[in-house]
Structures are given as structure tokens and as C-alpha cells.
Chain A
């Protein structure tokens, strides 16, 4: 295997050392003594990690790959589990994106959370998340990845419920943790299967041995990993936690629930690419689920009023697009979109945060309260415009190129999964195009409703909105820049350059069709993408800015419909009901069964003996004559026995 090279560079060690050191010093010293200064520590750590990741990316571009074991975690029987670092063409660019975006959002959070009493607690949890995310990306085996996967889930829980005095935040945090944990069952069982039958959890060893395994086992592993990925990446039906997760502070939503944590599921699928190739049926499922999620998320995003929820559903939709891309065989498209999505979604969230901050609101803001903010928040408007154009898919911004790659593989590229063409294929193509139109629609609707026009429901707040300080502005601009020019990594072939060695190394292991790690450009597809983006923009204009004002009128005419759509046509309530069912079942087992029946049976067993004792004690009632009768009877019996024995 031409993967591993000896020795880990300093940069790789910095990836772990810097955040760990920052967390330790931050917790033991800064949190108690100097909580207001704790952010310097974490900013330094972020910058160090970003520098290291960029350095590693450069090396990977030069063709280097690392797959080193750091220490043996345990050796039992025949199994050995180690901890190590793997840096190759798949995770180096993603790591660079994650590190960069995280650093920028750390800076943003300094400004956003400045007045919050839990400032240092926030940064501790936030940086713990960052550490876990980096660890997840550079793991060299599935178990290690699972460890950081759970760490990320824990951080998500702590941060969604950061303002823990709010019941909605607590409930959202618990919901996120629970749904993620349900997915984790799949991941854990997959690991158990890998250890039991696959021989190893380490990527290199497992993939090398795939051909020798029973195809059923491989399919099982793939399906279980998919289950785990669905929960983390909010695919239908395990997406229910993401909209509620917006209860967390905006930097949390921007970093975790847009750019990084939710992409962990996509990353898991990408990492497991060779396994997926052995399960082509599963790839079709991936594609269908992704398509459904993409459309569903986009449609729901188009009807939300809460700014952050629009972006949350948008994230769900884009994650669906990434899964769709994976399902039709384009690893390139998925990874490219993952990276660009990180840029522009984080940007959009930060702009929403600036709006919220600027309006002086705590938590979030609905479109009822916004409108015409381009006047009072010009810079934010400009940045948001860049983000919207990127998300919508307008050239030459980053989002256009990545969406183009996905559309290309959908419309032109053969279904590398080898799945059934025909009806399914056409369905997927239609879904992809619809999702593209819908994404452009909802983001421009959001832009129009927030920044332009003059809504009649507008409150007086928008007139007094102010731009946030530099801490928040500079990261926003940098992200805008990245969203604008980030497309170059894909179009200039940088991404292709790092991904193709990976694919060629996997090549011999893959039985089924080849996977796409590049996307040749075609004008037709570009045209389709541009048309979809433009169509969405026009539709948004018609819905919000034009005289028809359709967006507002349907709400007025059908108020019940709005409520039902917000509840995802009953899906959220179904999820809540099922959770309620489980806790009712628990109460039943615990009280009706355990307490009322089981305990009672045990105690009635004891009561039998007590009853026996009480019954027997009827012999001695205190009446002397009765005792004497017993003595008489006893002596007679004894005499008989003695006589009989002799």
C-alpha cells in the first residue's frame, strides 16, 4: 500500500497540541481567573491550527500522504485498536476549510458574545467542538472517528443549550443529542461489525480487505454507516433536530450547524467511498434520500419567517445535495460543494447574526421585523448579497462552480453507481434542478425581505439598526471574499489534484464502476445552472417585491397552512410524539411493572413466610391448658415411638 509515510510533521501534531493546550490552560486558569480574556488563547490556537492545516494542504498538493499510528489504544485477543492521524487528499482541503471558517467565526464570536455572562464557558465549549471536529477529520480509523463524532455531538448539545434558562433551548439541545445518538447506534454497530468480520477498523486495512468479505457484510456496514451519517447530516427523516438547533447563539449555528459538524456525515460517506462502491443499491438510496431532502429542505426554507430557520432548512437542503452527489457517483461534487457551502453558509449565518445583533434582538429575528435594512446595514447587505449570489449559483462565485459540478454529474455524467436509470434517473435530475431553482428562490426571498423593500409589518427597530463592530465585520468580509473566489479550488483543478491520487489508490479495490473525481466543464450544464439561479431570483422578486406580494398574501389567506408547513406537515409532531411514546413506555415499565407488579410479587413472597409464621403462632395462645394438651399429646407420641422402636 503506497499510503503511509513514516513520521508525522510538526503541523499534524499542532492540530492536536494547540487546541488541547488551549483548552487545558483555558479551563484551569483563564476560566476562573480571567474569563474575559480567554478568547485570546483560543484565537491563537485557531490560527495555529489554520496555519498547520494550510501547510499540510500544500504538502498534500505536492502528493504527500500521511497515515501514522500515534499510540496503541488497546490490544485484546486478536484485535488491536490504535489511534493515529491520516492526512490525505480527502480531508486536507476539508480540514483547511474547517480551520479557516472556524477561525473566522471565533473572531466573530468575540464580538457577538461580548456582553454575555457565559463568555468563557461559551468559548470553552466552542473550542472543544473545534478540537473534536479536527480530530474527526484526521482520524485514521473508524473507532477514533466515532470518538470525535460523539465529542462533536456533546459540544453541539452544550452549545445549543447554551442559554439554558430558556426551555426552548434546553429542549432543542436534548432533541439534537437524542437524534444524533439514534444515528450513533448505526455507527457503533457498524464498528462492531467491522471489528468482528471486517478485520480492522483502520481505513487502509479495511478497504484493502473488502474484496474478501461477504458482500452482505459489506452492505450491512455501508448501510449502518449511512444511518449514522443521516442523523449527523440531517437527512430525512433524522433532520428534525436541525431547525430547532437554531436556539443556540448564531456563531454556533454558523459554525456547527452549517459549515462543519453537519458535514461530518457527508465526510463519513466520502471517507467510506470504497465501501459504498461495493453497495451500489445503497448509493441509489443515498441519492434518493439526498434528493428528497434537498427538495424538502428547499421548499421549507422558502416559507419560513425566522431568518435562522430559513438558513437551517437551507443547510438541510444543501446537505441533501451533497448526498445526492455522492449517490450518483460524484465524490468531487460532494467534496467541492462541502467546501464552498462552508464558506457561503457561514457567511450567510454571520450576516444574519449581524442583523440580529444590529437590531438589538436576543436570539433570532423574523422577517416581520426586518425590511429595508440595506440602508442601515450596508456592509452586511453587501456581504449577504455575495453570499446569496454564491448560494444561488451565479457565476463566477464559488457556489456556482460547486453546484455546477453536482448538476454536471447529475445531468451528464453517467450514474457511476450503476443504479437503475430511466425513471429514477430522470427523477433525480428533475430533483436536482428543482432544488437549484428553489435554493435561489429562498435565498433571494430572504435577501429581499430582510434588506430591501418596505414591509408594512416592519417595526421601528430597523430604523435604528447599526452595523456591528470590527470583530464581527472583518470575518464577514473575509468569508465573503472566500465565497466569491473559492470556486477556484475546484475549477482550477486543485481539488481534482488532491482527490485523484486517492481515487486511483482505491481503484484496484473497487469492483463496481469508477467514481468521478473531476468534473469537466460543459456549457450546457452551466447554462442550466444559471437559468435555475435566475429563475429563482425572478420568482423571489415576484413573490416579495413586486405588486403581487405573493409571499405575504398566501399567509394572510391561509393562516392554518402556514402553521402546518412550519411544522413540516406534521413530521415534527410525529417525531415529538414518538419520543413521548418512549418516555411513556419507560414510565409504564418502571412504575406499573417494576414497582407495582415485580416488587409486589417479591414482597408477597416474603409475606407468605410471614403469614406462615403468624399462622403457626396460633398454637401458643397463652392458654395454659392448651399447652398442657400439647405436652400430653407429645409425650404420648414419643412413648409410642420408643415402644415401636424396641
Chain B
């Protein structure tokens, strides 16, 4: 029952928040999400000793054509659950103070959290897919109802695009299950069992491509990345945090837990292509970010860039690369989540998020300058902060597998400064233009500082002493090492 509570608790919280009177809804929402966070942390702690048990629980007896309710976690999944819970709590704490939010808002976030928890804990592919698609619904409403000007278009684009990807995923999964049934006579949707399916080369290639397509849309992998800038830009701050911080990880998680275990040989063969696409992500995201003037769109492109490192790490097939990919998922959640929270705080005050609308913000809002700089440095991979560890490990893994790609990735990692530093200078240091709103922006209050301190402390700790966290993550990925 322990694991079920991971998704059941937020689901109940969603109902509670929806039913609560509108004044109390915010408190209910934050309290429930904090409870989920505490619970996930409590579950995570036993794993810190290095090799926690692979917890499994299932409702036995209830199996319809192999569709069995089966949950299981290891270090990687549980840490992603923890990250989701943390980001939900922090983003809910950051919202709803300066603008009124109806109970449905809080309920939507908790429902999103519930579905994400379900994705990260499901061991049965059917339930995995159900939770996967369920997450689209609250996010659609979050973007569509509470986003900014272009929200209707962005929410529909987000839904249709990612849903199309999910369809590819569904076709691949069902095909695989059907092949398994025709080969062995038994229906199953469990990942380890499906991995043993004897699949012919042609069909295997198609299934691999379809499933990879489904996950790639989520990551997002170039060239399927178009939905991300619009969705991130138009979503409300808390929505962007969860979208970038947690939902994008579903794709990476899918690669790690579904695709690689089922098709290890094909994954090794796909290395040149997927590794190349990962590097393209890194460089393309960074280059596009350089030219943006909308702060949120800029951060959206940096997301694309960071997740390129995850892909590079996964398809390197080496323990360092895989551990780096797993770590980079968490790092990206923390740093990009932090950036979106900060931009959201600025937007709440000024209702603008164009770089040209600010200027000399360091004078009127020094705390913003400090936290923004800190999180931005983490984002560009300054050594000593968390981003560097993940990127380094991913590149280390790729160095052996494909040195030219690793060199390109290193160049991308280092040149990330090109989008971060000029932006920082223009927003915080350069003199304010005539239309600037910098003078009206009040500095961060205690609540907001507290939220960012939590993130900053985690960023610094992971950067300086990543050992324990890597110890939690590594057992989960060690089985995936190719060759």
C-alpha cells in the first residue's frame, strides 16, 4: 500500500482542494503537497544507503489480459517522485498570493502531481500509459485557463502535439504486447516480461522507432521540440515549473525504464543517431536561447539544451553517462524550476517578461539579482554547482562512445554562457530604458526568498557533494549499461 499512497495522496488532495471553500483552497493545496513531499522523502531515505530494495506492490488476482496493477520503484523513480513533490510544493507556495486563484487551480496541480507519481512508479505498461496521458489533462487546463495572452493556442498546441506522440507510444506498446502474446501465448504488459519477447528485426525496428518517437516528443528531442517554447511561455509560473521540472522528465524516464530495458541491442545501434540528436538539442537550444527577448521563452530553450545532455548520457551506454543523465534530470528540475519561479515572481509584479522591459534591476531588487544569478550559473553548468556534475558525467560517458559528439557537447556546455550572461547583464545591470518597469518591482519577500533558498541550498549541495545522490541513482541505472 505504501507506493499507492504516492499517487493516491495527491489525488485525494486534488479533490479536497476542489471541494474546499475558495479562501481555504490555497492552504489546503499547499498543505497536501507538503505532506506528499514529506512522504516521498520518507520513502527515499532508505535508498541513500546505496542499494535500496526495488519495492514492488501489486493487486494480485486482478489481471485482465495482462493488465495488472503493479507499482515498483528504485532510486531513480523515487528521486523523480521526490523532485515532483518538491517542485509542486514550491510552485504552489509561490503562487496565489498576488493573484486570486480558484480552487480548481490547486486541484489541477495536485491532480497533475498524482498522475506524474503514477508514471514514475508504474511497472505495468498499461498503467504507465494511462498515467502518462492523464497528466496531459490537468496541464492543458493549467495552461489554458490560467496562462498568459497566448494561452488558448499554446494549450491546444501542447495537447495535440504531445498527444500525437503518446499515440505513437501506444501503438508501439500494443504492438509489442500483441507480438508477445502471439509468440508466447500469454498476455502481459510487464516491462521485464516484454523485454524477453522474441521480436523479429523489422518489427523490432518499427516498435523501437514508435516508442522512441513517443518519448522523444516529451523530452523534447529536436526536431520534435516545437510545442515546448509556446507551452512554457504561456503557462503560469507554477505550471512552467512543473512542466519543465517534472513532465519533461517523463520522456527521459521512459527511455531509461521502458525503451532501454526492452531493446538494449537496438539502443546501442541507435547511439550515433540519438547521440547526435542529443548534441543538436544542446547546441540548438543554446543558440536559439541567445536570440530570445522573452525571458520565459529563453528559459524554455535552455530546457531543450539541458535535456540534450540527458539524451547524450543515456545513449552513451556507459555507467557515467547513465548516472549523469539521471542526475541531470534532477538538476534540470531544480535549476530550471528556480528560473521559472523567479521569472514568475517578476511577472506577477510587472506583468511583463521581456528583457527590454527591465534594466538595472540589481539596484531596486538585489535579492532577485542574487538568486537569479545563482540559479543561472547553475543552469550554465558552472563547476561547483549541480549542473556541472550532470553535464560532466554525461560527457564523460559519451567521450568513450563517440569523442566528436562529446567535444561538441562540451563546447555547447561551455558556450551556454553566451545566452545567460548578456541576458543577466541586460536585465540587472544595464541602465533601464524609457519603458522600463524596474522601478516598480519590489524585492523578494520572505516567503519567496525561503523558496529560493531551498533550491539554492540543494543546487550547491549537489554541486559540491554529489556522492550521496549519485549513490541513490546509480543502482537504478547500472542494469542499463550497454556491453
Total interface residues on B, CB under 8 Å, equals 56
Question: Which chain A residues border B400 with CB–CB below 8 Å?
Answer: 196
Q: Which residue of B lies closest to A161 (CB)?
A: B429
Alpha-carbon separation in the docked complex, A79 to B430 (Å)? 44
Of the candidates B287, B360, B396, B417, the one whose C-beta lies within 8 Å of that of A165 is: B360
Which one of B383, B389, B429 contacts A164 once the chains associate, using CB atoms below 8 Å? Answer: B429
Query: Scoring A residues 355 to 377 as 1 if CB is less than 8 Å from chain B, else 0, what string do you get?
Result: 00000000000000000000000
One of A167, A582, A602 near B430 (C-beta < 8 A): A167
Give the shortest distance, in Å, between A420 (CB) and chain B (any CB).
30
Cβ–Cβ contact B410 & A196, under 8 A: no
> Is A68 interfacial (CB 8 A cutoff)?
no
Question: In the bound complex, do residue A79 and residue B417 qualify as a contact, i.e. CB atoms below 8 Å apart?
Answer: no
Contact in complex: A73, B287 (CB < 8 Å): no
B56 within 8 A of partner (CB): no
Once bound together, how far apart are the Cα atoms of A583 and B417, in whole Å? Answer: 13
A195 within 8 A of B: yes
Rounded to whole angstroms, the CA-CA distance of A78 and B320 in the bound complex is: 9
Cβ contact within 8 Å between A151 and B384: yes
Chain A hits for B465, CB < 8 A: 71, 73
Is the Cβ of B226 less than 8 Å from the Cβ of A599?
Answer: yes
- The complex places the Cα of A192 from the Cα of B392 at a distance, in Å, of 8
> Which residues on the B side are within 8 Å of A71 (C-beta)?
465
Q: Does A184 belong to the interface (CB within 8 Å)?
A: yes
Whether A147 lies near B383 (C-beta < 8 A) is yes
Task: Tell me the residues in window 33-66 of chain B with beta carbons closer than 8 Å to chain A beta carbons.
Answer: none
Bitwise, B407-451 to A at CB < 8 A (1) or not (0) is 100110111011001100100111100000000000000000000
For residue A598, CB closer than 8 A to chain B, the reply is: yes
**Provided the pairs A79-B320, A188-B410, A589-B291 are in contact, do residues A196 and B226 lie with their beta carbons within 8 angstroms?**
no
Residues of B within 8 A of A582 (CB): 290, 418
Q: Does B467 contact A (CB under 8 A)?
A: yes
CA distance A184 to B318 in the complex (A): 25
Closest to A171 in B: B425
Type the 1/0 row for A140-178, where 1 means its CB is closer than 8 Å to any CB of B. Answer: 000100110011001001000100110100100110011
- CB <8 Å contact, A76 and B470: yes
Question: A178 to B287, Cβ gap below 8 A?
Answer: no
Given contacts A72-B467, A586-B287, contact A189 B410 (CB under 8 A): yes
Count CB-based A-B contacts (< 8 Å): 131
> Which A residues are CB-close (under 8 A) to B389?
74
Residue of A nearest to B366 (CB): A121
CB proximity of A45 to chain B, nearest CB, Å: 19
Q: Does B161 contact A (CB under 8 A)?
A: yes
The reply to whether B396 and A73 contact each other, CB–CB distance below 8 Å, is no
Does B262 count as interface, using CB distance less than 8 angstroms? no
- Chain B residues, Cβ within 8 Å of A151: 383-384
The answer to whether A76 and B393 touch (CB under 8 A), given A170-B429, A196-B399, A589-B288, is yes
- Residues in A neighbouring B411, C-beta threshold 8 A: 185
Q: Does B474 contact A (CB under 8 A)?
A: yes
Q: Is the CB of B395 within 8 A of A192?
A: yes
Nearest B residue to A602 by beta-carbon distance? B226
Instruction: Give the complex CA separation of A306 and B70 in angstroms.
Output: 74
* A548 proximal to B (CB < 8 A): no
Looking at the complex, which one of A78, A79, A590 makes contact with B292 (CB distance below 8 Å)? A590
Of the candidates A146, A161, A185, A591, which one forms a contact with B383 in the assembled complex, judged by CB atoms under 8 Å apart?
A146
**Which residue of the partner chain B has the closest CB to A135?**
B384
Q: Does A77 contact B (CB under 8 A)?
A: yes
**A174 near B422: Cβ-Cβ < 8 Å:** yes
Do A185 and B414 have beta carbons less than 8 Å apart?
A: yes
Q: Which chain A positions have C-beta within 8 A of B289? A: 590
Is A181 in the interface zone, CB < 8 Å from B?
Answer: yes
Q: Is B323 interfacial (CB-CB < 8 Å)?
A: yes
Those of B152-200 within 8 Å (CB) of chain A = 157, 160-161
Q: Is A524 an interface residue (CB 8 A)?
A: no
Write out the residue numbers on chain A whose beta carbons fall within 8 Å of the beta carbon of B157. 603, 606
Q: A72-B467, A73-B465, A151-B383 are in contact. Are A193 and B417 (CB under 8 A)?
A: no
Give A188's nearest chain B residue, CB to CB: B410
Are B318 and A77 in touch, CB under 8 angstroms? yes
> Is the pair B291, A586 in contact by a Cβ cutoff of 8 Å?
yes
Residue of B223, B323, B414, B430 near A170 (CB, 8 A) is B430
Contact B421 A157 (CB under 8 A): yes
For B396, list chain A residues within 8 Å (CB).
Answer: 76, 79, 192, 195-196
| Contact (Cβ within 8 A) A170 B399 | no
Query: Does A587 lie within 8 Å of B291, measured CB to CB?
Result: yes
Interface residues of A in 126-148 (CB under 8 A from B): 143, 146-147
Contacting pair B410 A591 (CB below 8 A): no
Chain B CB within 8 A of A594 CB: yes
B8 located at the interface, meaning its Cβ lies under 8 Å from any Cβ of chain A in the complex? no
B272 located at the interface, meaning its Cβ lies under 8 Å from any Cβ of chain A in the complex: no
Report the bound CA distance from A165 to B360 in whole Å. 8
Which residues 344-384 in B have Cβ within 8 Å of A in the complex? 360, 362, 377, 382-384
Q: Does A585 contact B (CB under 8 A)?
A: yes
Chain B's closest residue to A145 (CB) is B383
**Is B136's CB within 8 Å of the partner chain A?**
no
A75 contacts chain B at the CB level, 8 A cutoff:
yes
User: Interface readout for A194-210 with B: 1 if CB under 8 Å, 0 if not?
Assistant: 01100000000000000
Task: Give Cα distance in the complex from A195 to B406, angstroms.
Answer: 12
Residues of B bordering A, CB below 8 Å: 157, 160-161, 223, 226-227, 229, 284, 287-292, 301, 318-320, 323, 360, 362, 377, 382-384, 388-389, 392-393, 395-396, 399-400, 403, 406-407, 410-411, 413-415, 417-418, 421-422, 425, 428-431, 465-467, 470, 474, 481
Leading 7 A-B pairs by shortest Cβ distance: A77-B319, A590-B291, A586-B290, A164-B429, A147-B383, A590-B288, A587-B291
- Other CB < 8 Å A-B pairs besides A75-B470, A77-B481, 9 of them? A77-B319, A161-B429, A164-B425, A188-B395, A586-B288, A586-B290, A586-B418, A589-B291, A590-B288
20 contacts between A and B (CB under 8 A): A74-B389, A74-B393, A75-B467, A76-B393, A77-B318, A164-B428, A167-B431, A188-B395, A192-B396, A192-B399, A192-B410, A193-B403, A196-B400, A582-B418, A583-B291, A586-B287, A587-B290, A589-B287, A590-B292, A598-B223
